[in-house]
Amino acid sequence: MNWLGSFLLCLASAAPAVRPKECQAGYVCCRAACACGECCGSTQAYYPREGDIIIFTYRNPLYRVCYALAGTGPPYHVGIVVRIPTGELATLEAAPNMSYTVFVLPLPDRLPAYKGSIWVRRLKKPLNAAEAEQLAVFAAEQTGKGFAFGRLLFNMGPLRPRGELRTQWFGKTYLDRDRWFCSELVVAAAVAAGQMDPNVVPANGIYPRDLLIDEPIDFSATWEKPLLWTNEAGTMAGEPYPDYESLQ
């Protein structure tokens, strides 16, 4: 733990309890049964909470090739919801919008500004005070760190931590790195918050697609099924619910 994380932890324990600020951040499209299978039902206000996983989708031919070499596919970016010292909620992300640094970005501004499609996985059980504090401290410690270009290139090779044997040999979760790629950071944050087991989920071998489709690891016991995010109520009502691949 660096000095900033220690300071925030001491400050949180010494300061009087402050009620977290809850703020709506757009809507999610609920799923409904229809004649064509599954369609978009009503939209529901999205009130994010710490630990929610936010998955960002967009088309990028170069990323498609790179991620295929790493043994995965689209989508290509993911973040996790954290609380910042002001009490507001934000996304913790490595390299958002091609900015190759770890940022915390205020949620009400971040989601509408994104030009692609967004999927939300809501945490089924809210974090308790200790878990939320550990997540906030982790986020503060990682903010400003760089992007792990070298590790991503390594993961395109034959020794990448994907597959049963290679995951056992090379897969690992670190909670303090100088550089991160996006899904690795999200998994480490979830471990810090007590929502993932580092012995089961190797952060350096997990990609955004894994967090979306629950393969090869099933996260559905802790996070709800992904829902499509929208900034407007009533969007897509009655239309077939998009599958994950159609948004890439």
175-206: per-residue pLDDT in tens?
999 999 999 999 999 999 999 999 999 988 89
pLDDT band of residue 41 (cuts 50, 70, 90) is confident
Q: For residue 50, is pLDDT > 80?
A: yes
Higher pLDDT, 166 or 170: 170
Of 23, 17, 26, give the one whose Cα is nearest residue 44: 26
Supply the CATH classification number for the domain 48-109+124-227.
3.90.1720
How confident is the model at residue 60, as a pLDDT? 73
How confident is the model at residue 31, as a pLDDT? 80
User: What's the whole-number mean pLDDT along residues 100-111?
Assistant: 93
pLDDT mean across residues, the chain: 83
Instruction: Give the CA diameter of the chain.
Output: 58
Instruction: Please list, in sequence order, all residues whose beta carbon lies within 8 angstroms of the beta carbon of residue 117, skipping any fewer than 6 positions away.
Output: 56, 57, 58, 228, 229, 242, 247
Backbone angles phi, psi at 236, to 5 degrees: 70, 10
With contact defined as beta carbons under 8 Å apart, do 68 and 103 qualify? Answer: no
With contact defined as beta carbons under 8 Å apart, do 151 and 94 qualify? Answer: no
Of 185, 172, 106, 105, give the one whose Cα is nearest residue 141: 185
Tell me the pairing of strands 227-230 and 179-180.
Answer: unpaired
pLDDT band of residue 36 (cuts 50, 70, 90) is low
Min mean pLDDT across 71-80, 189-198, 201-210, 232-241 is at 232-241
Q: Where are the alpha helices (DSSP H) in 45-125?
A: 61-69, 107-113
pLDDT band of residue 17 (cuts 50, 70, 90) is very low
Q: Specify the residue for token string 């640094």.
A: 101
How confident is the model at residue 64, as a pLDDT? 77
Higher pLDDT, 135 or 20: 135
Determine the Cα–Cα distance for residues 94 and 212; give it in Å rounded to an integer.
17
How confident is the model at residue 184, as a pLDDT? 94
